[in-house]
Chains A and B, each alone.
Chain A
């Protein structure tokens, strides 16, 4: 079946460091791809999305580019803040509009001052 693989955490960075969280997917075709963020005690919030190859999703300084050739959707941010500390989930949609998403295991990010 389809799956999403994320780099294992925790990822620990100093404030203003560059962030990359790797994500690869297995769905064939052109699934929609998503990044969600979960802050402590809260539900998952949509961070960004991309719906076709070479699309770049961006929000709050985070970016991810849909790479069909490498089946990847890596999350990046040029300068992280302490407030970015959270768990990040990559997800793929099952092509066909059924709105069912396959989530990765999540990557915990801790940013220190």
Chain B
């Protein structure tokens, strides 16, 4: 089975440019999560969706960050304008509701973002 697919795997761009990260969740999963991982701050939850609807975006650091999920098989995380401090590895994860108990999240391989 295909796992969570993220693209690109690596992105290097200059400060001020728009960055778009993409995620395809596992087919049939109804939750999608965006995380950011840095050495200083560890793993941070940015936003998550249920059935394509944003549930909690309190982790989004600034208005420069936005996320969308136009359909069940695609989500984007956009940074505009980008800044050097946005450099991090961004992960997408998905999970499936089952029986009212928390289910494991399945992670993609991440996008390593470097803002120069």
Contact A34 B104 (CB under 8 A): yes
Closest chain-B Cβ to A78's Cβ sits at a distance in Å of 24
- CB contacts under 8 Å to B, within A25-67, are 31-32, 34, 36, 41-46, 49, 51
Which DSSP category, helix, strand, loop or mixed, fits chain A's interface? loop
A99 partner residues in chain B, CB cutoff 8 A: 31, 50, 95, 97, 102-103, 105
Chain A, interface residues (CB within 8 Å), range: 20 to 34
Which of B13-21, B41-49, B67-75, B77-85 faces chain A? B41-49
Contact B110 A97 (CB under 8 A): no
B91 partner residues in chain A, CB cutoff 8 A: 43-44
Please encode chain A, from 71 to 113, with 1 for each CB lying within 8 Å of some chain B CB and 0 for all others: 0000000000000000001000111111111010110000000
Contact B104 A106 (CB under 8 A): no
Q: How many residues on the B side are at the interface (Cβ–Cβ under 8 A)?
A: 26
The reply to whether the CB of B108 lies closer than 8 angstroms to some CB of chain A is yes
Contact B43 A32 (CB under 8 A): no
Contact A100 B101 (CB under 8 A): no
How long is the Cα–Cα vector from A96 to B55 in the complex, in angstroms? Answer: 14
The reply to whether the CB of B107 lies closer than 8 angstroms to some CB of chain A is yes
Contact A49 B104 (CB under 8 A): yes
Closest chain-B Cβ to A6's Cβ sits at a distance in Å of 10
CB-contact partner of B43 in A49, A89, A95, under 8 A: A89
The reply to whether the CB of B61 lies closer than 8 angstroms to some CB of chain A is no
Contact A97 B104 (CB under 8 A): no
How long is the Cα–Cα vector from A113 to B10 in the complex, in angstroms? Answer: 32
Chain A CB within 10 A, most for which of B95, B97, B102, B107: B102
Closest chain-A Cβ to B116's Cβ sits at a distance in Å of 21
Interface residues of A (CB under 8 A from B): 31-32, 34, 36, 41-46, 49, 51, 89, 93-101, 103, 105-106
Known: A44-B107, A100-B48, A106-B43. 13 other contacts (CB 8 A): A36-B107, A42-B110, A43-B110, A45-B107, A46-B104, A51-B101, A97-B100, A98-B50, A98-B102, A99-B97, A99-B102, A100-B56, A101-B102
Q: For the complex of A and B, list the 5 residue pairs with the smallest distance between their C-beta atoms, beginning with the closest.
A: A93-B102, A43-B107, A97-B100, A32-B102, A44-B107
